[in-house]
Amino acid sequence: MPYEPPTHTVERSLRATTGAKVIAGVDEVGRGAWAGPVTVCAAVTGLRRPPVGLTDSKLLTVKRRTQLAAELEKWVTAYALGHASPEEIDELGMTASLRLAAVRALEALPVRPDAVILDGKHDYLGAPWRVRTVIKGDRLCVAVAAASVIAKVHRDKMMAELGIDHADFDFAANAGYPSPVHKAALEERGPTPYHRLSWAYLDALPRWRHLKKVRVWADGSVPEIEGQLGFDF
Binding annotation: 27-28, 119
Per DSSP, the three-state class of 11 is helix
Length of the chain: 233
Q: Is 137 helix (H, G, I), strand (E, B) or coil?
A: helix
**Residue 101 φ/ψ, nearest 5 degrees:** -65, -40
Asked whether the bond before 37 is cis by omega within 30 degrees of 0, the reply is no
How many other CB atoms are there within 10 angstroms of residue 64's CB atom?
A: 14
Give ∠ CA 221-226-232 in degrees, rounded to 5: 110
Annotated binding site for a divalent metal cation: which residue ranges? 27-28, 119
Residue 159 · residue 39 · CB < 8 Å: no
Q: Are 33 and 177 in contact (CB under 8 A)?
A: yes
